[in-house]
Structure 1
Amino acid sequence: MSDLHIYVTLGVFATVILAIAFDVVDMALAAMLGVSCLVVFGILNEADIVSAMRVAGGPLLLLFGGMVVARVLSTTGVFERVGNVYLRATKGSGKRFLLLLFLLVAPLCALLPNATTVVLLAPIIIRVAKALDIDFVPAMVLAAIISNSAGLLTLVGDPATFLVGSSIGMSFGEYLRKVSLGGVAAVLVPLALVPVLMPDLWRMRRPLPPAEAAPPIKHPWFAAASLAVLAAMVVLFVVGEELPTRIVPPAVAVIGASLALLVAFTAKLEPLDNILGDIDWKTLVFLAGIFCLVEAFAKTGLLQIMALQLHAWFGSQLMQVAMMMILGIGLLSSLLANVPVVAGSLVMIKGYLVAAAVVPEMALAPEFTAWPAQTLPVFIAMMFGATLGGNATLIGASANVVAAGACAANGRRLTFARFLRYGLPIMACQLAVSAGYVYLLGRFAFKA
């Protein structure tokens, strides 16, 4: 690739990001136009796009499957009953309201895409806040931050986490043993900071409104079947890769989506067109486009140049590289979509590890999974940086944008500055805790 191609790639990528940041055009359109420009200039061809989709396929299937299952669950009436229980359980206490918010959001976000979970739970959270006559904006900020953080609890909780894990051959069970404890710590950080960041809401007391009868579930068998599909997905996430047929998480997501659609089709409560029409296709198209832009970076050699520079700075000091990954990817993920950031960083880190003679050159092949134990802290650091970096700003994660939209739809504006006031200190503390966790892993658990 010539220098001109490198400059064009940088220019197109910068233009796409600026167009999205300043809301010049829709984000999906911006990504598609960027890819089109790279094709016209001969930087990307059919083989490159196929290669990009090979990398993007797993995360995109996880997102799609989670969206379908969540959409079907939303029609069961279960969430309305959960909201009624949530309200009564607060007993009019702001402290209980916030603590129960963690219990409501975190478990679901460990298994479903964070943005989808916020879409499902936002009406419940806002309804309970209004019933208690409190400002729901801080609660929605906290819900988004919890959803992003809880993505670290499992391998499939966040597409960026899955992308890193799958690229090194990490199974669901191995993730639970080696990374999930750090995810628990990440969720506990905002829990510890809430009394400081939201003191008025924490100390608030309100009388509960008169009790109302719980809304009935009109089709109990439909609700039971939908919840059974979710339970089956969870089981397959845990044991699927140990089965003789080895069902990987993206395949589990496809199976779950298929079963959920079958349940909805059998119930005939609404056309499948409505369910599929409500899927966030724009986000899926946007991510696919960004993956293609990252592929252009790899093809022009920019990521390989960065890998060599990384080796020049740090040599074979893997723990220093891991710390840099937490900070660097964390900062980038506060401003850009974390999945493409991770996709590009993976190419760079694998190139660095080859340059540092930690792994052979064959490690650059997609099917290579024999990573030495001492390299794992670097990859795990990437997971923490990507997932937690999005907690800092309003545009750092799709869940944050969804939370802002829910606030606007209910007459309140969530500004960039207000989100930053809560999100930045939480992210800073989370990254510090994550750095400590990764350091301990490198020192005691993954010694070569």
Structure 2
Amino acid sequence: MALAPAALRRLTWFFILLAGAFGTAVATGLTAKQVLAVSIFSTFILGTLLYWQFRLAFALIGITGLLAGRLIDIPHLIEFANVDIILFLIAMMIVIGFLEERKFFELLLERMLDTISHWPAFFFPAMMGLAFLSAALVDEVTSILFMTALALQLTRKLKLSPFPYILMIVLATNVGSSATVVGNPVGVLIALRAGLSFTDFLRWASPIAAAGLLLTIGVCLVYFRKPLREMTDGVRRLRNEALDTGRIRDHKQFRLAAWVFGLTIAGLVLHHQTEHFLHLPKNTLLLGVPLLMAGVSLLISGEKARTLVEHRVDWWTLIFFLLLFASVGTLQYVGVTDRLAQALTVLSGSHPAVLLGVIIAVTAFLTAFLDNVLAVAIFIPVVAGLLEAGVSSGALWWGLLFGGTFGGNATMIGSTANIVAIGMLEKENERVSFARWLGPGLAVTIPTLILAFILLFLQLPLMK
């Protein structure tokens, strides 16, 4: 049976890009083992991007190929799988499911509408601001779980397609995750290696992140003007209806859910201070708090606890995450990332402005197609080596941060928040393709990266 033209084009692009990845790996002088690792990994990533609905199949086959080719062993596969992140997501999804079943987000949304609906046009920009703030104060994954649940509740009520609104929430979340050291794992990596404090992030990263949010909102107001107009009309309609129908009257259940929500957020915000007070290892409670509150949620749920775990946890997405992390780690295991770092060091020279631009651009590119944690991890030793060699510019660390966070907006696999949000969208029967994300993703990513470069460049004389 002949392939449809669209399917044939997609298959053609798959093999062209795969051949390009293979040719590049060979041309750069990688070893046979490294070339094989790049080829299998590229098959996995290209299959994921071009055939998103089969991403888990490509992930399973890719991991099998890596194991069969002796490109990674089982102990390292488990190490690179980032099981702590998977457990964090499982726990948070249980908490979110518990809150949704008690209609917490529905009543929270109604109260937000009561407060903000006098200015309908500002409602969704305000939600983007809230996503930015929550990502900065807690972390991007927690922010996207809560904010996506809230936005989905709104789009269900207004009977609107959720994709453009969830995408805007994701874009604001990724930008907000750069504002503080706790907003994104890459911030933690950079802070530890560069010796940066929370105050340093407030001085150098937060103002640029805030400027990035304003630019992101401005781009979204233009790019998504039709969906935002529909949202404004819907919010105005809800205001006129005064939300008299369908109000939640079980305030006891709401108060119980609010306690769970409040304790979860407070625990995440204060986890560093609590760990210091209790003399616990770093980030112990970043995982411990969600696990505790998930356990509390299951106890409160009683006989519904099993249903909550089976139906509210997005197991499809979590298995994909686990395999993605493991496969990306393979490149580090076989030494591909070290070769890339060495090549960049040679090619970049030592001019701070040029280096800043190269690091932002290359980190953003890798982030868009790999994982921002790996992309940043690749360049941390590069930046450290450049500074040790006499390049006196702390701006390189901040360029690395913004390349890894702002660059995550470009594609659907650019950050953990993106994939979590897509998983929640698919539960609403909303299909998201690579091309559908890429247009608005690049429309925000490119100008925000340019803005970050300009603002860092202007401050180069102030940085040592």
Same fold (TM over 0.5): yes
Task: Give distance in 1, aligned partners of 2:290 and 2:110.
Answer: 28
CA positional deviation for 1:389: 1.9
Q: Does 1:210 align with 2:238?
A: no
Residue 291 of structure 2 aligns to which amino acid in structure 1? S
Contact 1:326 1:384 (C-alpha < 8 Å) held by counterparts: yes
Q: Percent same amino acid among aligned pairs?
A: 22
CA displacement 1:185-229 (0-9 Å, x = unmatched): 222222233443344566655544422344133425522430342
Q: 1:141 aligns with which of 157, 167, 172?
A: 167
Structure 2 vs 1, CA of residues 290 and 91 (structure 1 numbering), >3 Å: closer, same or farther? Answer: closer
Q: Is residue 435 of structure 1 aligned with residue 450 of structure 2?
A: no
1:252 partner amino acid: L
**Which segment is superposed worse, 9-18 or 42-51?**
42-51
Does the aligned pair in 2 maintain the 1:125–1:140 contact within 8 Å?
no
Are 1:358 and 2:388 matched, yes or no? yes
Provide the residue aligned with 1:152 in structure 2. 178
Structure 1 residue 243: Cα displacement: 3.4
Contact 2:80 2:326 in 1 (8 A): yes
Alignment of 1:17-32 (within 5 A): 17-23=45-51, 26-32=54-60
Deviation at 1:80, TM superposition (A): 0.9
Aligned length in residues: 424
- Partner of residue 255, structure 1: 288
Secondary structure of the structure 1 residue equivalent to 2:291: helix
Contact 2:144–2:420 under 8 Å retained in 1: yes
Q: Please point out which of 147, 169, 187 is paired with 2:213.
A: 187
Taking a change above 3 Å as real, the CA distance of residues 92 and 414 of structure 1, as seen in their structure-2 partners, is farther
Q: How far off is 1:260 after superposition?
A: 0.7
Take 1:170 and 1:281, find their aligned partners in 2: how far apart are those partners?
36
| C-alpha contact (below 8 Å) 2:180/2:198 kept by paired residues | yes
CA contact (8 A) 2:189 2:377 kept: no
Amino acid at match of 1:215: I
1:243 to 270, 277, 299: 277
Q: What is the CA–CA distance in structure 2 between the aligned matches of 1:315 and 1:236, rounded to whole Å?
A: 42
Match of 2:111 among 73, 85, 101: 85
Q: Tell me how far 1:13 sits from its aligned partner.
A: 0.8
Query: 1:24 and 1:392 mapped to 2: Cα distance?
Result: 16
Counterpart of 1:388 (choices 406, 422, 426) is 406
Which digits, 9 at most, give the CA deviation of each residue in 1:422-447, with x for residues without a partner? Answer: 33222112111222343355431x41
Matched, 1:52 2:64: no
Look up the equivalent residue of 2:72 and give its one-letter code.
Answer: L
| Preserved CA contact (<8 Å) 1:229 1:259 | no
The equivalences for 1:263-412 within 5 A come to 263-269=296-302, 271-277=304-310, 278-334=312-368, 336-339=369-372, 342-351=373-382, 353-354=384-385, 356=386, 358=388, 376-397=394-415, 399-400=417-418
Whichever residue aligns with residue 286 of structure 1, its letter is F
Q: Is the 8 A contact 1:298 1:344 kept in 2?
A: no
| Between structures 1 and 2, the one with greater helix share | 2
- C-alpha separation between the residues in 2 aligned to 1:58 and 1:410? 27
The answer (yes or no) to whether the contact 1:52–1:295 under 8 Å persists in 2 is yes
Given the alignment of the two structures, is residue 423 of structure 1 paired with residue 441 of structure 2, yes or no? Answer: yes
Q: Which amino acid aligns with 1:84?
A: E
**Can you list the C-alpha shifts for 1:336-392, whole angstroms capped at 9, x where unaligned?**
2434xx3154235415644x4717xxxxxxxxxxxx995753333222222222323
Aligned letter for 1:36? Answer: T
Distance 1:124 1:415 in 2: 23
Correspondence for 1:369: none
Counterparts of 1:310 and 1:350, CA distance in 2: 11
Q: Distance in 2 between matches of 1:413 and 1:281?
A: 17
Q: 1:43 aligns with which of 59, 71, 74?
A: 71
Aligned residue for 1:219, secondary structure, equals helix
- Structure 2: distance between partners of 1:224 and 1:385: 36
- Residue type of the alignment partner of 1:117: F
Gaps of 5+ in 2: 1-28
Secondary structure at the residue paired with 1:156? coil
Whether the 8 Å CA contact 1:125–1:139 is kept in 2: the answer is no
Deviation at 1:60, TM superposition (A): 4.6
CA contact (8 A) 2:116 2:123 kept: yes
Distance 2:343 2:126 in 1: 47
CA contact (8 A) 1:61 1:254 kept: yes
Which residue is 2:253 aligned to?
A: 219
Q: TM-score, normalised by structure 2?
A: 0.76
Match of 2:7 in 1: none
SS at match of 1:189: helix
Q: 1:244 to 1:101 in 2, by over 3 A?
A: closer
Distance in 2 (alpha carbons) for counterparts of 1:413 and 1:300? 35
> Comparing 140-149 with 425-434, which one deviates more in the overlay?
140-149
Shift of 1:397: 4.5
Q: Distance in 1 between matches of 2:77 and 2:387?
A: 30
